Amino acid sequence: MTTPTPYGNESTAAPVEPHRVLVLNSGSSSVKYQLLDMRDRSRLASGLVERIGEETSRLVHTPLTGGGGGAGPRERTGRIADHDAALKAAAEELAADGLGLDSPELAAIGHRVVHGGLKFSAPTVITDEVLKEIERLVPVAPLHNPANITGIRTAQALRPDLPQVAVFDTAFHTTMPESAARYAIDVETADAHRIRRYGFHGTSHAYVSRKTAELLGKAPEDVNVIVLHLGNGASASAVAGGRCVETSMGLTPLEGLVMGTRSGDIDPAVVFHLKRVAGMSTDEVDVLLNKRSGLVGLCGDNDMREIRRRIEEGDEQAALAFDIYIHRLKKYIGAYAAVLGRVDAVAFTAGVGENSAPVREAAIAGLEEFGLAVDAGLNAVRSGEPRLISPEYARVAVAVVPTDEELEIADQAFALVESLRPQGLGQVDN
Ligand code: AMP
């Protein structure tokens, strides 16, 4: 018989210091996961379950350095009914690689939680109270928090003994001053409905701004960085001495830059106009601005590779979409330079930022007066490493810094759990 321990059913084997973290990113119909070994921060496995609840569900599991590493991805297709089934399927795949979630080596499960409101400015061990607060925030994050909650509940059911840690997308932005965080609307109404600018992609902005300081050979406290997280969702942030002082997303991820399918900034009166004049419902406007706008609304494509290909072929609609995207980006770079006063680096990250040399070139072009320039040769280099792409003479460094939200979540979750261990938190003392 096995003996239950705080970390699962352990046999009589010598005690193992828990050192693995499972990172879960639960969307409404998908779950992404990664298992990391925090001794060397290596990745043991990663996977994605998509189209949960549909007949065409798919799980792709990739063993990495540990377990069955090197064997290549494995795929399962066919209906995966819900998040519970998705996580169980992922656990089976991990177990097949000798990385079962019942292992005493698992120290914590780190959850990406999109909205933490004002309450959560740091990673937090999930208790019933914490879960209630995440639930209370559903009205301001109706698309994201319910899926995150489902993921947490499912993981709790799987390993009720294990610390589950929430790492909030909004946390890094809670240092924004009120002048940046408040909208200029009636204060009572704003406060009654918790309307303010929260910002998102915080885990990425935190990681990239720190990595950029490292790339410059400086401490985060000593540098001011503009981070441009350009993925399908896109946001900018101004980070002064390691603290976020401004970011482009607001109450929801709709505000700010032009994105793959989101409009970013628009005059809010467009909404009244669409309702009054075009007869659209609130939900229709919501879908228009979140799903049918941005690059896809402007030219029919949201993949920057496809847009560049069309531009090469002389497609004017794609060229205009690109120009609008770049124009907005430049406006934010200029605005954030003004907010920061002194800029040491501009860092590009995420799918577009890491991979699209034309976007980086165009965004920085003409900003020489701000001390910014891009070296064409360096910009053309493809690499998964953080790197500088500005010429020697440039006053402000321009960098490409691949983001790693999973590693950041694992780091934060593990650090928290480790810090609690000596105090002997019920579920973590060993
Ligand atoms: P993310 O949300 O960070 O995964 O970024 C996804 C987006 O990155 C895609 O929609 C593409 O527009 C963009 N992307 C990915 N790979 C490339 C590439 N090689 N060149 C240009 N854009 C890319």
DSSP string, 288-329: HHHHS-HHHHHHS---HHHHHHHHHTT-HHHHHHHHHHHHHH
Instruction: Provide the token pair at 312.
Output: 């090469």
Q: What is the pLDDT of residue 429?
A: 35
The CA 232 to ligand 1 mean position distance, Å, reads 7
Residue 308 assigned to a binding site: no
Q: What is the pLDDT of residue 421?
A: 82
Question: Which amino acid type is present at position 211?
Answer: K
- Tell the residue nearest (CA) to atom 9 of ligand 1: 303
Q: Which residues of the chain have pLDDT under 70?
A: 1-14, 66-70, 422-430
The CA 350 to ligand 1 mean position distance, Å, reads 7
Residue 354 assigned to a binding site: yes
Query: What confidence tens digit (pLDDT) does each residue in 415-426 have?
Result: 999 999 865 444
- Judged on CB neighbours under 10 Å (0-12, 13-18, 19+), 156 is middle
Q: CA 146 to CA 137: how far, in whole Å?
A: 9
- Tell the residue nearest (CA) to atom 15 of ligand 1: 351
Q: What is the pLDDT of residue 221?
A: 98
Q: CA 234 to CA 239: how far, in whole Å?
A: 16
- Tell the residue nearest (CA) to atom 10 of ligand 1: 303
Nearest one of 59, 65, 60, 62 to 41, comparing CA atoms = 65
The CA 67 to ligand 1 mean position distance, Å, reads 29
The CA 395 to ligand 1 mean position distance, Å, reads 29
The total of other beta-carbon atoms located within 10 Å of residue 54's CB is 12
Q: Which residues are catalytic?
A: 169
**Which is the closest atom of ligand 1 to the Cα of 350?**
3
Q: CA 264 to CA 400: how far, in whole Å?
A: 23
Burial 204-235 (b: 16+ CB within 10 A, else e): bbbbbbbbbbebbeeebeebbbbbbbbbbbbb
Largest CA distance in the chain: 72
Q: What is the pLDDT of residue 144?
A: 87
* E strand spans, 316-427: 345-349, 387-388, 397-400
Residue 92 assigned to a binding site: no
Q: Is the pTM of this model over 0.85?
A: yes
Residue 138 assigned to a binding site: no
42 bridge partner residues: 37
DSSP state of 150: H
Domains of the chain: 17-168 (3.30.420.40), 220-405 (3.30.420.40)
The CA 25 to ligand 1 mean position distance, Å, reads 19
Residue 283 assigned to a binding site: no
- Tell the residue nearest (CA) to atom 4 of ligand 1: 351
What is the CB < 6 Å shell around ligand 1? 231-232, 260, 302-305, 350-352, 355-356
- Tell the residue nearest (CA) to atom 16 of ligand 1: 351
